[in-house]
Amino acid sequence: MKNDTLTVVLLNYGARLHQLFAPDKKGHLENVLLTYDSLSNVLTDQSYFGAMVGPVAGRIKNGSWANHQLEQNEGKHHIHGGSNGWSFQYWEAEVFKNYTTIGVSFTLQDSFSGYPGPITATVTYQLTQNELEMIIKTSSPTETICNPTNHAYFNLSGNGKREIYDHELTVQMKGLLELDNEKIPTGKLLAAHDLPLDFNRPHTLKEILDYYPKGLDDVFVLTPEKKTLTLLEKQAGRQLTIATTNKSMVLFSTTGFEANFWIHGQKMHSNYGLAIEPQEFPDAVHFPEFGSIALHPKQEKISSTTYQFNTIKDMNT
């Protein structure tokens, strides 16, 4: 789908955000996502490139909650909806258009992932001027849990020309969730003012990775007043602002991610993209204080995330 500012390519396998073309400061449209060079790689993807992740994104400790046992597909834990999750299913697609907006709605009735259900999910991607909005609606006749996200990897240099070191990141955040060595939340919040770096102010990824040499793979707890993240690549002049209704964003800097597949004509390599995953807190089923991700019978849950693109022509003004 295409308007005067943005062009988006979507796939019905995993309701994926496959390519997103945005202008640089000279008006050149380039893809700002990490995208497989071969569509055949999409069908064997295990890294969730642009995928709709669900029913529950992130890890569930021991794959269990209440009296339910889910697939343990990462060691003893469950991750990203399991090996039959939403990322690996085919969705029905419907296109719509009006005077200001063009969009695609993907619908899935999921009885395949192993979660109680069936869960009906609708993901709508719509373009209006310089914004891509993603709206996720879920419902089920059965008590279940749901905490979906999109797992796009961003690189604002355009067509993957450069690594992400010069990207400037700002997150309106209260802090990070403390994670154990298996990336499971402990229940503790690491307050923003206790961190080695103030993420509420812009820092380049190079600066951030100096403090976090193993890379980011962290849960950023957003401020309730302003749930936004800004990413800026000055050389291209692209600025991305992401606003969400969710409480957190998981950021994964692809540090150490070396793989034998091709992205923008290069083998996938460390610090090549930043995955940004808006969601409720991971493993919320084990921490009542995190808020509920329960989906009650006949209830409809709605979340939305907006990706706004701007160009910064003169960085000195």
Is 217 annotated in a binding site? The answer is yes
Is 152 annotated in a binding site? The answer is yes
Which residue type sits at 59?
R
Q: Which helix (H) or strand (E) holds 277?
A: strand 274-279
Beta strands 203-204 and 217-222 are unpaired
Give me the catalytic one of 30, 168, 233, 277: 277
Closest C-alpha among 87, 77, 13 to residue 277: 87
151 an active-site residue?
yes
277 an active-site residue?
yes
Give me the catalytic one of 80, 151, 167, 203: 151
List, as one string, the DSSP characters of 41-80: HHHT-SS-TTPEE-SB-SEEGGGEETTEE----BTTBEET
Whole-angstrom distance, CA of residue 204 vs CA of residue 290: 30
Residues 6+ apart with CB under 8 A from 213: 255
Is 37 annotated in a binding site? The answer is no
Tokens of 53: 């992740």
Binding positions are 151-153, 217
Q: Which residues are annotated as a binding site for beta-D-galactose?
A: 151-153, 217
Q: Which residues are catalytic?
A: 151, 277
